């Protein structure tokens, strides 16, 4: 009887330890956390502004002190780091229509329209790079998990990114 109780307790303890390890691994590998770690590794510091699309496995982050921007794809396993001088601009695209734009040497096209029922809100970053001239990141996608909880939040995040870009592109 005592041996059976010991075996039962040992099995229960082992099951509890394995469950705890599995939960810790799932927490560690959660897509948003994984993208944040990859951004930090790419930039060398915690980004001061970030945009994540866990459903797409894409992210972008700004490091103002290091004057660099990182863009990541393929769940953070691939990416590029650009200097601020290589940024050409950015756009907010809602359901296939460009609603706001900032480009080097051009006047900003402000976000005048709100789209509370948008199916997709995309931030497109433009770079002076022939091989990778643009990077698109879904801030809101009705079918995939996103960093934002609504189209309105996605538009606010996109507008904040355009404001950062506008400050960086001023001569």
Q: Say if 74 falls within a structural domain.
A: yes
Q: How far apart are the first and last CA of the chain?
A: 82
Which whole-number Å values give the CA distances from 21 to 24, 33, 61, 98, in the listed order? 5, 17, 30, 46
pLDDT in tens, 67-107: 999 999 998 889 999 999 999 999 999 998 898 999 998 87
Q: Say if 1 falls within a structural domain.
A: no
pLDDT in tens, 27-77: 777 878 899 999 999 999 999 999 999 888 999 999 999 999 999 999 888
Angle at 46 between CA 43 and CA 47, to 5 degrees: 75
- In this structure, the number of other CB atoms found within 10 A of the CB of residue 57 comes to 19
Q: Say if 82 falls within a structural domain.
A: yes
**Structural domain count, the chain:** 1
Q: Could you tell me where the beta strands, DSSP code E, fall in the chain?
A: 49-53, 58-63, 68-73, 78-83, 87-94, 97-103, 120-127, 134-141
CB 72 within 8 A of CB 42: yes
Q: What is the pTM of this model?
A: 0.81
CB 146 within 8 A of CB 140: yes
Q: Say if 101 falls within a structural domain.
A: yes
Q: What is the CATH number of the domain that holds 94?
A: 2.30.29
- Residue 122 reports pLDDT greater than 90: yes
Which residues form the domain of 98? Answer: 31-169
Q: Say if 47 falls within a structural domain.
A: yes
CB 150 within 8 A of CB 142: no
Q: Say if 24 falls within a structural domain.
A: no
Cα–Cα distance, 2 to 146 (Å, whole number): 53
Q: Say if 71 falls within a structural domain.
A: yes
Cα–Cα distance, 33 to 38 (Å, whole number): 9
């Amino acid at each position: 009887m005592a041996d059976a109780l010991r075996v039962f307790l040992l099995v229960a303890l082992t099951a509890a330890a394995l469950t705890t390890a599995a939960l810790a691994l799932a927490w560690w590998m959660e897509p948003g956390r994984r993208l944040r770690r990859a951004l930090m590794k790419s930039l060398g510091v915690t980004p001061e502004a970030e945009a994540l699309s866990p459903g797409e496995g894409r992210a972008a982050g700004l490091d103002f002190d290091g004057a660099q921007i990182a863009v990541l794809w393929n769940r953070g396993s691939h990416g590029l780091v650009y200097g601020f001088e290589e940024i050409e601009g950015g756009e907010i695209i809602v359901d296939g229509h460009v609603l706001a734009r900032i480009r080097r040497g051009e006047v900003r096209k402000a976000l005048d329209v709100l789209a509370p029922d948008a199916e997709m809100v995309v931030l497109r970053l433009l770079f002076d790079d022939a091989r990778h001239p643009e990077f698109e990141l879904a801030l809101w996608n009705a079918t995939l998990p996103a960093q934002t909880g609504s189209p309105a939040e996605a538009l606010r995040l996109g507008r904040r990114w355009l404001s950062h870009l506008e400050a960086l592109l001023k001569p």
